[in-house]
Chains A and B, each alone.
Chain A
Amino acid sequence: MLSDDHVNEIIIDVDNVSSGVQSHPSSNQIFQEKVLLDSSINMVSSISDIDVVDSQTVSKRNDQKGNQVLQFSTSLNESMSQTLHSLECMGIDTPGSSHETVQGQKLIASLIPMTSRDRIKAIRNQPRTMEEKRNLRKIVDKEKSKQTHRILQLNCCVQCLNSISRAYRRSKNSLSEILNSISLWQKTLKIIGGKFGTSVLSYFNFLRWLLKFNIFSFIVNFSFIIIPQFTVAEKNTLQFTGLELFTGVGYFRDTVMYYGFYTNSTIQHGNSGASYNMQLAYIFTIGACLTTCFFSLLFSMAKYFRDNFINPHIYSGGITKLIFCWDFTVTHEKAVKLKQKNLSTEIRENLSELRQENAKLTFNQQLTRFSTYVMAWVVSTGVAIACCAAVYYLAEYNLEFLKTHSNPGAVLLLPFVVSCINLAVPCFYSMFRLVERYEMPRHEVYILLIRNILLKITIVGILCYYWLNNVALSGEEIIGMQLITSLGLPEFDIARNVLELIYAQTLVWIGIFFCPLLPLIQMIMLFIMFYTKNISLMMNFQPPSKAWRASQMMTFFILLLFFPSFTGVLCTLAITIWRLKPSADCGPFRGLPFFIHSIYSWIDTLSTRPGYLWVVWIYRNLIGSVHFFFILTLIVLIITYLYWQITEGRKIMIRLLHEQIINEGKDKMFLIEKLIKLQDMEKKANPSSLVLERREVEQQDALHLGERDSSLDLRFRRSVQEGNPRA
């Protein structure tokens, strides 16, 4: 027994359980709580996070320490329950004995002041059984009604508000359920997810997301451009043959599909009807479409970044994620077996990656490896440049060829060649794998993707450049290329398929100015692609063999869609509108020197009307002036810099907190070792009196609780010397 002088009051502070979520309510478990009884009794609360000092120790030693710790904590638990039992016998109402109610009371107290909507959410978030939640709700409602009972005047208002909010909530629920039920392909996607997992599902979700863009563009175009055009349409005199479906030439040339067909006049029905300026409508509608796409892409990209790229370099957690993120949605037995095989491969690859990070190569090996990389890059870039040059010369030759011959099928030559290049060269790139040796197999995939992307972008860029310099624009080639490239390969490689989707969407955006019905065609293509991919998946059952980090890849693809693809389109269109001369005899902009002159002339007409001078002012001083954009850019840069500094500060904070956690763990372990030592010392010194104490504790009534040795080992009367200063 230790003397009274040394009182070692060990109160171990523990984190608060947030918002009432109770951790591990099973009986054997060790809780983290702050139990502070009256000042007369100080009890050591249970400890959960216990630290082994040296992390480099051999597993045996770890086990021993771990066992020690668990032993200690179980003995702690036993003695604590003993104490509680004994204290109950003494008639003391200890909060520790009913810690459940303490937590419950805290929870109830926190729920009462909440609004009813938040309360429902908070109760739903509780990890408890339905019965407990129901009881909780009843108790809270009773307490709440007790409190509001006093405020009689507001009673009827409160009731009105309650019933209104309840009705609103119910209607919102039913609305969201209706939206869910008409959501496109819901059931098919669930089946696909069940059979093939989330990675394949992400491809189909991406497809559905692109479809939404096209539906929106189509609706806008249809209502503002095509319908007015129909009202002044002329008769179509050309013949219709089946080839037009593939080339888009011929019959379709004089339909709403082509830019050339649109009138440049101001449509007016009757003398008193409102006038509809076709030129302005055309530019503004396409502008509105693209602006909406821009903002929608921007926000989606930001959201994906925020969700997927939080401090990746601080906590990589690669293997942890693999172990704990098993895909529970898979319900097909074959799929589960395949997934297990994939997981095994991926784990082994990851482990070898981690091991090889430490392995050092000799200088010779490094040199050879570096030279193979360089050579591979040179060859691949050379091939890309060669293809681009070929496409450019072919395009020029094609133009002259078309002028002399009028075979409609010849229009298909250019798209055919481009599609062949797109199919053949990536296969060639993947053969590089045999020569290059990468340390991490993941890098292989990334490098391959980057090469493919570069190839596609350069080809599209060359084609755009060619089109911009030759005014004979038409949508034929675009459509032709789309149709042919969409007949893809049978194997379901997610990366290639998503790239195809992005490529097709880029083409649609480029062509939308000259062929307003292009979104409709793309919609049809996406529908067809969905069903063909679905059927091919079901028949072959060839889910991707390479393991796939769905969320990171999706972020990367949306970034691709935004950055080279959409911004490239915007640049091309900007150049078109500002620099190109529209064709003189067809289209809504015929006769103007540049496309943009339609807007200039509109502003000029507005400036003569007194009521619209504010529009003219905005145009001249905000949109048209350089100073405004300069100041705006400056403000945006300053804000970006400030946010960047805040992020850096937060990273430092995270590092400091991590170190603090480690230090606190070490302190706890140190204290526990000390306690165990003292426990042993006591046992050796007084084996008989310990037994006596136990009996005493069980039988006696308490009068002087302060002197009572309430438990075997917990009350150490030593001064706090080396104790944890932070506890």
Chain B
Amino acid sequence: MGQCLRYQMHWEDLEEYQALTFLTRNEILCIHDTFLKLCPPGKYYKEATLTMDQVSSLPALRVNPFRDRICRVFSHKGVFSFEDVLGMASVFSEQACPSLKIEYAFRIYDFNENGFIDEEDLQRIILRLLNSDDMSEDLLMDLTNHVLSESDLDNDNMLSFSEFEHAMAKSPDFMNSFRIHFWGC
């Protein structure tokens, strides 16, 4: 695979990325290296873009059941710039604040992108999570109804952002599991 022109990241850029994201210096440099290996040859890293397929096939995302949604949410116009990748790694890093994680988790789980997690979204989430073909329709409806009865506070059959946030904000399991290590170093 070809490599971008070997531009070292400028010190000011590194400082800026450190200020704007939750990543440490080492993490940013590691992602920079990984990005350089994947992007097409002859381009400055700030202008190069990766396709969604390339990002989906990163070792960190390759087996994730939600990788297409992740790529969809964090990319712009179907491609990933270097800053998009940094943004994605920042949200999934350990140091990211809970509100940011909840915000992006909501966007990822909102399959039809209507601003709510409705029954259709829930069913698609469940099918992705269990990945089994022997899921009966009854079980699916039952499960969806249970989730809604637990978290839907104002009984409109959908989860708005506030309801999702309320359900997840106090859950340490969520904070610990919504993490991805993107760098190989």
Contacts and interface: CB of A to CB of B under 8 A. Distances in A.
Given A23-B103, A331-B62, A336-B63, 17 more contacts: A23-B161, A28-B115, A29-B114, A129-B76, A129-B83, A130-B86, A133-B20, A137-B20, A308-B172, A319-B143, A321-B167, A324-B125, A331-B64, A333-B63, A347-B130, A351-B142, A665-B154
A120 B131 CA distance: 41
B15 to A, nearest CB: 9
Contacts of A26: 113, 115
B63 A551 contact: no
A212 to B, nearest CB: 19
B168 interface: yes
Question: Chain B CB within 10 Å — which of A50, A127, A550 has the most?
Answer: A127
A662 B177 contact: no
B84 interface: yes
A400 interface: no
B146 A125 contact: no
Interface string B60-73: 10111110000000
A329 B171 CA distance: 17
Nearest to A197: B177
Contact of A52 (B59, B115, B155): B155
Contacts of A173: 18, 24-25
Which of A51, A325, A336, A661 is the most central at the interface, judged by chain B CB atoms within 10 Å of its CB? Answer: A325
Given A127-B103, A340-B129, A329 B62 contact: no
Contacts of B62: 331, 333
B113 A124 contact: no
A127 to B, nearest CB: 4
Given A331-B60, A665-B154, A127 B104 contact: yes
A124 B176 contact: no
B173 to A, nearest CB: 5
Contacts of B167: 315, 317, 320-321, 324
A62 to B, nearest CB: 5
Interface in B138-185: 139, 141-143, 145-147, 149-151, 153-158, 160-162, 164, 166-168, 170-174, 176-181
B155 A131 contact: no
Nearest to A190: B181
For the complex, would chain B's binding face be called helix, strand, loop or mixed by DSSP majority?
helix
A180 B93 CA distance: 14
A134 B146 CA distance: 43
Contacts of B35: none
B22 interface: yes
Give the interface residue-count category, chain A: 35 or more
A23 B118 CA distance: 16
Contacts of B166: 315
Contact of A661 (B122, B153, B172): B153
Contacts of B151: 317, 320
Nearest to A318: B150
Interface in B74-109: 76, 83-84, 86-87, 92, 97, 99-100, 103-107, 109
Given A55-B155, A177-B26, A323 B122 contact: yes
A292 to B, nearest CB: 26
A21 B181 CA distance: 25
Contacts of B156: 49-52, 66, 69, 665, 669
Closest A-B pairs by Cβ, 5 of them: A665-B154, A29-B115, A130-B83, A327-B177, A24-B115
Most chain A CB within a 10 A radius of its CB, from B97, B146, B156 = B156
Contact of A351 (B17, B104, B146): B146
Contact of B154 (A125, A351, A661): A661
Contact of A323 (B17, B92, B126): B126
A701 to B, nearest CB: 35
A358 interface: no
B58 to A, nearest CB: 10
